[in-house]
Amino acid sequence: MKSHKLSENVVTGRWSTVTSEEWQTRVDLAACHRLADLNGFSDIVWNHISARVPGQPNRFLINLFGLRFDEVTASNLVTLDENGQVAVPPRDSNGEIIDTSGSNFTGFVIHSAIYNEREDVKCVMHSHSRAGLAVSALKEGFLPLVQDAFQFYNRVSYHEYEGLSLDLNERERLAASLGDNPVMIMRNHGLLTTGISVAQAYIRMYYLELSCRTQMDVLSTGREIHLPPEEVCEHAAEQYQTAAPSGTHEWPALLRKLDSIDTSYRD
């Protein structure tokens, strides 16, 4: 990589012209994959996180199928168009184009479903995390029990399991299931979060997963559960909505942590 400079156009050893906004989105999305792996949100090569290409609302960046989350970099992300075709191929550490013939079609189905219906969404994150999977299989679903969980109070959607997401027709049902909510429990499948930024989608996933872990911990005790009154839970959810968007304060700190471990995601 010749330069990380963010000017009107970023000129690197692998890209001729990439806008600074797109390059920053690529860096953030790559960082999101690395952080997801560090926090146990990855599933070998089977999960996916995506982000809209700035200025190109019908295209989105997504991880290359076959790579672990800890191998994702800003350059090896794939750009898909509205038809699921590769619009901009990924590149390896030598700047060579990487073959994308074995792309993960389920990633396109799930993520394009959300982008097609939600103009406000700039990032979609899907996980098969242990606690998320456990909650997705519970009949009662997600139970907000603690402060971190109250931000999702009455703001969680559900989508019934239909098998592997290989049917384009499922996209309409996925989008309808999510509706206007920020997060969704995919029944017997996992979790999905959205955001106006990569940072927001990641922080929502972090706290949704943490809330699921807490739920499973509390349920495992078999003891009676204490909950605040409904109006207090709703008040807390509204407080979260009026505060700075999730990720505003946390994301810079997370990038510093990631940079102290490995900066290769920026390449």
Is pTM beyond 0.85? Reply is yes
Instruction: Identify the pLDDT of residue 10.
Output: 53
Q: Per CATH, which fold does 9-266 belong to?
A: L-fuculose-1-phosphate Aldolase (3.40.225)
- Contacts (Cβ under 8 Å, ≥6 apart) of 76: 64, 67, 90, 91, 92, 98
Instruction: Identify the pLDDT of residue 125.
Output: 97
Alpha carbon distance 134, 119 (integer Å): 31
For residue 229, which phi and psi values (nearest 5 degrees)? -60, 155
Instruction: For the chain, 267 residues long, give each residue's pLDDT as a single digit of tens.
Output: 334 444 445 545 455 568 999 999 999 999 999 999 999 999 999 999 999 999 998 999 999 999 999 999 999 999 999 999 998 888 887 778 888 776 778 899 999 999 999 999 999 999 999 999 999 999 999 999 999 999 999 999 999 999 998 889 999 999 999 999 999 999 999 999 999 999 999 999 999 999 999 999 999 999 999 999 999 999 999 999 999 898 899 999 999 999 999 999 999
C-alpha dist (Å) from residue 80 to 56, 89, 101, 108, 143: 11, 9, 13, 8, 36
